[in-house]
A and B are shown apart, each in its own frame.
Chain A
Amino acid sequence: MADTSLTRAVRWDTVVGALLVVVLLLSFGFVDGFGNALNLSFLIGNTLPIALIALPMTLLVVSGEIDLSVASTAGLSGAVMGALWNQGMTIETIIPICLLLGVVCGLVNGLLVTRLGLPSLAVTIGTMAAYRGIAQIVLGSDAVTDFPSQYLDFAAGRIDGTFVPYAFLPFLVLLAVAVVALHAMPFGRSLFAIGASEEAARFAGIRVKRQKLILFTLTGLMSSLTGVFWALHYASARYDNATGLELSVVAAVLLGGIDFDGGKGTLGGAIAGVFLLGALQNVMSLQDVSAQSQIVVTGVLLVLSVLGPRVARQISLARAGRGAAPAPPSKAPAPTP
């Protein structure tokens, strides 16, 4: 496109990042009860599950796929955790088992997508129901709440004297790993290529199917980790834990400027999107904005997130005085065999 320089000037992920900073600063200044340690720890703690899943989801979306079963995988690992706990197993064995289960869930998605060539949207809508259903079979209507307090405290507590939840630190490590993997490692580079043109990537010797399989598996792993965290954070393992989380993740990631056609976006943008939504919700609740109005705000924000850059570009183009009729080069139709 003619306006590469302009697109770079108004990169949406930086805008989201800036917006997040602005919202935080304004809230510190003007919103009662926002700035204190307790509230900040609430904010971070409640946003963490979304942020955790947003990490692999961003990678997946960059490579042109999607996983809607993440919340169900989280629910399933929570349920299994509860069931095994009820059986009297030690928590130290249970958690690895749950993570392994997540790997299996992700692997199933990945195999269905890569081996059978099914669209990931359809597959994961299916597994979304299947995993949730299995969770229900495993745990039934029980709610397991009596996990050991040192684990609960870790998941819900914060570092003494600060607003930082304990769990935030491991998240930061994971974030750093994901950023490096996506933006600096050959693996991440190949994901962008796969997302932008799977066929061209294959012709460049990139092992498309393998990379995708790895990604789905990682997504499963992170989902189950989130499931374990969720059960401990809320001290409740139920089969319907984290229901609907996938939509929040998708919305946040989209807000962060990740293009669902694949091949575009940055992790920084996605995570900024996650915390922007989290912070806004927190502020709006403190300001007694009703849940319904919050939904509208989220929606408007999403629409603006795509219209905004576009309008900005149009304006700067108009100002440049040259109304070059844009000829967006669409992706070549991929002739699949």
Chain B
Amino acid sequence: ATACGGTTKEDVKDEGGKAAAAGKADPNAATKKGLTVGFLPKQVNNPYFTVADKGGEKALKELGSSYKEVGTSSGTDTAGQVSYVNTLTQQQVDAIAVSAQDPGALCTALKQAMKNDIKVVTYDSDTNPECRNAFISQASADDIGRTQVQQMAEQIGNKGEIAILSAAQTATNQNAWIEIMKDELKDPKYKDVKLVKVAYGDDDAQKSFQQTQGLLQEHPNLKGIISPTTVGIKAAAQYLSGSKYKGKVKLTGLGTPNDMRKYVKNGTVEAFELWDPAKLGELAARTAVALSSGQITGKEGETFKAGAMGEYTIGKNGVIDLGKPTVFTADNVDQFDF
């Protein structure tokens, strides 16, 4: 306690202990059937999450378990997400796969769920590590951050000003990638590449649109934009393709082939990348079932078999990496449909 008798952050740090993952893993335990896994994406009706959750549904069917999806129709309705966690807890599902809108806000509810013997897997967007059993990372943050910078540098010939168009300022994964991009840019070979600004479009088409305009007005010499969010890259591409900057200002980032097909073909975008969201969902589902079956507990080093996807090992802090993202260009974009 402090002198005046109040509670400060320091006091809390002392008292905090991390909730340890309980129990012991039995890699050879039988895969249970008839489980129910509830998917709680950041936002229902979001095409990206729909594809991901469909992947989860398919996997669960294969495994003989059942799938359900609930969620809020807004991507920033944290209270709504919390109450859905509560609902799932109430309905006694066996596991929850959740993409968290907020790393902290879901914690109380998720811990409550774990206390009720429900396994919690986060995917796409993590919570604090102690609030879930495992996190399925779409790709290692390292891979995503660095490859995007590499692609952009290549397109602009390692020279010129670039900017980043991100989603919300609070988006955990976005911020992690941006940090890594900045780190990658420190490499001497990028000495002529200058990151002039990070703009935030809040994953809102119109806002991203105007942020793109602003970037170009503010930095007339801008050579390229990296937008590591599907909404952002789409809006930026739409703006560029209808403006005088088309083809002159490069654009790359994370986008879905269906969204970006047109812009790749009309020359607005040369290349962009993404992982397969369906695989992300599938891995989340399989991890959830593995947890419920007792094959893993979420400790570092445990391994499990994820059907046709092969074997995965749990990394530090219970993180499981999906693998490297795919790069899409005019040559291969037509081979994908999501």
Contact = CB atoms under 8 A, between A and B. Distances in A.
Interface string B1-19: 0101111111111011000
B125 interface: no
B71 interface: yes
Given A42-B90, A143-B102, A241 B7 contact: no
A136 B44 CA distance: 26
B104 A91 contact: no
Contacts of B313: none
Interface string A271-309: 000000000011001101011100100000000000000
A269 to B, nearest CB: 24
Interface residues of A, number: 51
Contacts of B9: 85-86, 88, 146
Contacts of A144: 104
A28 interface: no
A136 B82 contact: no
Interface stretch (A104-112, A232-240, A316-324): A232-240
Contacts of B77: 243-244
Nearest to B84: A285
A33 B15 contact: no
Given A33-B91, A286-B90, A90 B7 contact: yes
A31 to B, nearest CB: 10
Given A234-B102, A234-B104, 12 more contacts: A86-B9, A88-B9, A91-B6, A143-B103, A147-B12, A148-B12, A243-B76, A244-B76, A290-B44, A291-B44, A291-B72, A292-B44
25 contacts: A33-B91, A38-B89, A38-B90, A42-B83, A42-B90, A46-B79, A88-B9, A90-B4, A91-B6, A92-B4, A92-B6, A146-B13, A147-B12, A234-B82, A234-B102, A236-B78, A236-B105, A238-B104, A240-B168, A241-B78, A244-B77, A285-B87, A288-B70, A291-B71, A291-B72
Looking at chain B's contact residues, is the secondary structure mostly helix, strand, loop, or mixed? loop
A240 B79 CA distance: 11
A148 B90 contact: no
Interface in B92-140: 92, 102-105, 107-108, 128
B85 to A, nearest CB: 9
Given A38-B90, A291-B72, A143 B8 contact: no
A145 B169 contact: no
Interface string A60-85: 00000000000000000000000001
Nearest to A146: B12
A93 interface: yes
A54 B179 CA distance: 42
B169 A39 contact: no
Interface in A128-171: 136, 140-152, 156
Interface in B168-223: 168-171, 175
A229 B303 CA distance: 42
Contact of B104 (A88, A145, A230, A291): A145
Given A46-B79, A88-B8, A141 B170 contact: yes
B158 interface: no
B241 interface: no
A152 B8 CA distance: 14
Interface in B59-76: 68, 70-74, 76
A150 B5 CA distance: 15
Nearest to A32: B91
Contacts of B169: 136, 140-141
B317 interface: no
B36 to A, nearest CB: 11
Contacts of A240: 76, 168, 170
Nearest to A50: B79
B86 interface: yes
Nearest to B16: A146
3 closest A-B pairs (Cβ-Cβ)?
A: A90-B6, A145-B104, A236-B105
